[in-house]
Structure 1
Amino acid sequence: MRDFVQTFVEKLKVEENRDRVSLVQYSTEPEAHFYLNTYTTKKPIVDSVRSLRHKGGRLLNTGAALQYVKDNIFSPSSGSRRQDGVPQILILFSGGKSNDEYSDTAEVNFKLDTHSTKDEIIDAVKGGRPLNTGEALDYVKNYVFTSTSGSRLVEGIPQILILLSGGKSEDDVLVPSQRLKAAGIVIFTVGVKDADEAEMQSIAHSPNQAFMLREFSDLSPVKQQLLSAVISHKDTVRPGLVQGSSVKRDIVFLLDGSDDVRSKFTAICDFVAKFVESFDVDQGKDQVAVVQYSNTAVMNFNLNTYKTGDDVVKAVRNLRPKGGRPQYTGTALQFLKQWQVTEI
């Protein structure tokens, strides 16, 4: 199988603007070995394929692996150019029957008499509802927690989460936030307008790491307060990590991208961009990632996607709101824990 992949790759024209290749291995759970934007020439791809080792695992969950590829490989943050009209091709190798039935059961999202106006129907369709919520949570827990995102937790680099929310979550946030804290992630929260103060405080590392604002126009003034809190927190500065005048940090922004904040999303992006400008990304010290969420979470870019502050700021300013009616902050936090931070 490995020889076949190697031979296949050698026949491709791998360049930045030509062919791109990603490789995922799966059994019980999938694992990305490299993404579509990891390599821009053929040789490192062939070398990586040659060095592959058998993943192992007792169960074969093909359905979950397919969903993983759809959500995390065929995405702009991983190098997919689907939006540019570039053909998207998946080649699946399997040696057995799948043990999962990932999305083959039907669920009624709403009945013929549930909604009485066109706008209500459009909102329901846009927001959607979780399909097999238990399976989706298992998927996030089991499949997205990977070091390939660039987290440097094993090196002792502080892990920082900044959550910005414009409303109250409809799912439980306590357990996911506790898991993040147990994993060593320091959480700061910014709640705006309809966000619940008690909820924001329960998610944050401590209540005084939760910042509450009346309007999105108040984001700019709070930037310095939040920045001071981040750089002075005892768990975000660790001995032996200082290089020059800067301390290494992995900083992840979890942004409310629901329809409720769509009209204010530019202000959110401006806030994040100005915040990023205060950190040292260019020298490989600080790393930044952005995740949006509403009823589901989606990766905009990973910790290891961009190597310069200018690139991060440009990516942030080019963000578009994810959309979706309900907020599932707890689910997003659990997504983040497993996607952004290396395995423990």
Structure 2
Amino acid sequence: MKSFVQRLVETLSIGENKDRVSVVQYSRDPKTHFYLNTYMEKRDILNALQEINHKGGGPRNTGAALDYVRHNTFTDSSGSRYQEGIPQILILLSGGRSQDDVASAAVALKQHKVVPLCVGTRKADILELQMIAHNPSYAFTVPRFDDIGSIYQQLVSFVKRVPRQQPRLKPENILDESQSEFQALLGFVKRMVENLSVDERNDHISVVQYSREPSAEFFLNTHKTRQSVMDNMQSLRHKGGRLRNTGAALQYVKDNVFTASSGSRHQRGVPQILVLLTGGRSSDDVRNAVESLKGMGVMVFVVGTKNADALEIQSVSQEPTHAFLVTDSSDLSDIEQQILSAIRSETPAIKPISYDARRRDVVFLLDGSDDSQESFLYIKDFVQRMVTELKIGTNNDRMAVVQYSNTAETNFDLRRYSTEDDVLDAVRGLSHKGGYPHNAGAALQYVKDHIFTSESGSRLHEGVPQILIVLSGGRSEDDIRTPVRMLKENGSSSNVNRDIVFLIDGSDDVRSRFSSIREFVAKLVEGFDLDKGKDKVAVVQYSNNAELNFNLNTYNTRNDVLKHVASLKPKGGRPQYIGAALQFVKDKVFVSNAGSRHHEGAKQILVMLAGGRSRDSPRGPAKDVLTAVRRLSHKGGRPLKIGAALQYVKDNIFTVPTGSRHTENLL
């Protein structure tokens, strides 16, 4: 640890008006070795580091240590210059999981404008480090602290790019000031609108106001002329509210404004531009919403006034040149032309993509960590068998292989091989990468940035489906949620359209459990891509006969489907004739006039929720259930395999409140 700190100090420019350093050591209790204003010369700090001895003791109270540095180190009396806007950076070196709560201490630090970076050994809890860090990418794990060189340059880079904050001002007359601020922001928007070509065929404008919750003043298709927009803005009133939930507001804009129903022309290739005006740090997390907007191709400009967080507005804009910080709202006029110029010069049209399901770009991401060494031969065998199922060729299927552990490494990219034999030879010759731990999140980000690109042979922009197959032997030690979502939004997932039919037992036998069935269907629907027309959903209930609730072509949005699902009532009746119900689905639902797209190559998927055994007679219309299933398969239908369904049934169906008698030891 001491060696690492010494290396880091060597890279800094130490001085009273430059960089300052403090060191605190902790176990049960924290102890300050020297403060930010103790030493002003680099050699004095290095000499002091040499004299530090290991503190010892237990337990490891990281939460208490975080509170300690906030109250005792990042203060005026200890040499902190946060009032002057100097970046406040905390580097936490931890050898294991904290014995006390870190969540509230981490939140308090960030509210104090401190930017935490965390480094832990393999005994540390990566999720805990990510919670403490400014964002998950600011948390690192290493095998041992003497092996910290692998992340040293990245950590130094993060330290150096933390931006200067605006000096802190004392708030006076908050109500009058907020009203005045709002009028200044409104004037800024009006002047921007005056410089745009607002009409039905050119620029469209929407305005959203937010505090705790966002609300749209008007949508992209509300006004067709500049004058109409200006007239509406004259009547806008300050929304008010205490919390500033910027993350929720950004997600609201993506889900409710940048949509076809609200006037967005994204699918026609029209650039999507967002200008965010904010007066302070967000009360909620903005990261997921930012990545969602980025994945959609939205260009974001951020203008921060007064107490806005400089680091946050840069992370929202994704481009430092698209983030502007002004000390006073009267300075807004200085940046209007910069934003307008950037909008005019940097917004290429988005090319609408139509997918070609006859060709595929397939990437295998293999666990190459120390934990997978014994099973690596089986992993290679699996990949070889998959290769034989593909049609490898320059104008057919392409394939790439990447291994990962603590870092990711390309074995070969999508443009490397053009024949099946060459790919098979390359897979047979793969050597195990080795390394620790499993950083699947970083590996997924690597695949997005370096493999699913034109330079590496990806044909995404030609409409070729991008498919990623991950073979993992253990839990990831870093955050995977953000890169997974970015990959999906980038098109790296299954791009085949799906027609999904739910066949639900609506008989008297399930009446008491029907709300759980309805909730299960809703949970699945929330994961479908209905708004872009990729997925379509139908619902059929059955008992002694089958009854259509709605067809595949009835609804085109997720919200409409969810509203209907929420209103479903059990049809009633008994007994259950599943064979006849399956025959009904085949004849009446998986057909073109009911919205099925099987002739266009869309997958035909049936999800059946049965509450009891079928009573179909062999002399019935389908003879038996198996016959009906086989006939469905001939149509392209297949059961939907969802592992989460089993867990859901265990947690929600096999319970005493829903009628299960498992406590009575029934066999």
Q: Flag whether TM exceeds 0.5 (same fold).
A: no
TM-score by length of 2: 0.15
Greater relative CO, 1 or 2 (CA 8 Å, sep 6+): 1
Structure with bigger gyration radius: 2
Scaled by the length of structure 1, what TM-score is found? 0.30
